[in-house]
């Protein structure tokens, strides 16, 4: 369904009381996946969710008087989705829970994408800090219009050409993260193709030391030029980008494999557990043990 799929979301979910009506409808545009869910809801319908990638939740329809409540654990942040076109943005790795109040039916769009997907599209114009800031229960008429058009592409058996859907996704992401026209006086960054090559190489090799020369050789640049251009494109130096990629994959291991923290640290290429813990807390804000317990409790 849709264009070639180079990315598939790895959502970890435990749900109860939601009965999907029809089959899940979805489409993919390279590294962005859109899911449309339509479900009947029991009185005690609830779910716990955590994903290593960001996602946008958009309410499309629900019964009058019904509410879908989305909570961020331990933060006192709640989104009450009581009307169509209310939405919430959940950053990568953030555990959330959802439950219904007087909810009998629901239809919603989930838009999944990697942080690298946003940077590949918009390069140095992306404010990286925005990707890690949650937004619960907000409205935006332009985003809602685009979300409905994307949902139509998912459910329409005679969907438009893939470039149409890709354009809708690009426009929505630009609005969601307030990505403005690039200042022509900024330092020159990498081309879209160059950035894709470098970031994909980093993702594939993030558990081992990557020499700057390896990245420079990929796109035939000097190490100095590569370093400056990469930071101009992403807002981060290559080693910081690698560390974030490493931590994202570590989070998948913490959730999906019965390994001790020492074993995870070794598998991920850290010197020891103490080094692993320091780096993880710097990136995520919690120690690995705290994050794993938080995710498991949901």
**Amino acid 101: pLDDT:** 96
- CATH number corresponding to 2-176: 2.60.120.280
What does the alpha-carbon distance between residue 37 and residue 21 come to, in Å, rounded to a whole number?
A: 8
Question: Which residues have C-beta within 8 Å of that of residue 65, sequence separation ≥ 6?
Answer: 102
Ramachandran quadrant class, 9 (left: phi over 0; alpha: psi -120 to 50; beta: rest): beta
pLDDT tens digits, one per residue of 142-154: 999 999 999 999 9
Question: Which residues have C-beta within 8 Å of that of residue 194, sequence separation ≥ 6?
Answer: 219, 221, 229
Residue extents of the structural domains in the chain: 2-176, 192-297
Q: Among 3.50.50.60, 2.60.40.1180, 1.10.10.60, 3.40.50.300, name the CATH number for the domain at 192-297.
A: 1.10.10.60
Quote the DSSP letter at residue 132.
G
**pLDDT for residue 108 is more than 90:** yes
**Amino acid 185: pLDDT:** 47
pLDDT tens digits, one per residue of 205-262: 999 999 988 999 999 988 888 999 999 998 889 999 999 999 989 998 888 888 889 9
């Amino acid at each position: 369904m849709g264009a070639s799929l180079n990315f598939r979301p790895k959502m970890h979910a435990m749900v109860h009381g939601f009965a999907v009506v029809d089959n899940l409808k979805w489409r993919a545009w390279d590294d962005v996946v859109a899911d449309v869910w339509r479900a009947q809801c029991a009185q005690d319908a609830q779910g716990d969710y955590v994903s290593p990638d960001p996602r946008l939740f958009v309410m499309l329809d629900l019964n009058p008087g019904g509410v879908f409540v989305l909570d961020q654990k331990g933060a006192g942040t709640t989104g009450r989705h009581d009307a169509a076109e209310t939405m919430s943005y959940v950053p990568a790795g953030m555990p959330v829970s959802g439950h219904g109040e007087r909810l009998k039916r629901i239809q919603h769009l989930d838009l999944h994408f990697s942080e690298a997907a946003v940077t590949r599209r918009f390069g140095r114009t992306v404010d990286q800090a925005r990707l890690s800031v949650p937004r619960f229960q907000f409205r935006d008429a332009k985003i809602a219009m685009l979300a409905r058009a994307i949902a139509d592409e998912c459910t329409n058996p005679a969907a438009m050409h893939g470039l149409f859907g890709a354009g809708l996704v690009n426009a929505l992401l630009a609005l969601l993260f307030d990505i403005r026209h690039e200042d022509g006086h900024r330092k020159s960054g990498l081309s879209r193709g160059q950035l894709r090559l470098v970031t994909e190489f980093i993702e594939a090799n993030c558990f081992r030391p990557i020499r700057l020369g390896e990245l420079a050789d990929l796109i035939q640049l000097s190490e100095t030029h590569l370093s400056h251009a990469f930071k101009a494109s992403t807002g981060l130096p290559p080693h910081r980008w690698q560390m974030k990629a490493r931590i994202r994959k570590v989070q998948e291991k913490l959730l999906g494999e019965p390994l001790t923290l020492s074993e995870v640290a070794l598998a991920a290429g850290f010197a020891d557990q103490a080094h692993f813990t320091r780096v993880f807390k710097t990136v995520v804000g919690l120690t690995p043990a705290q994050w794993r317990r938080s995710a498991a409790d949901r």
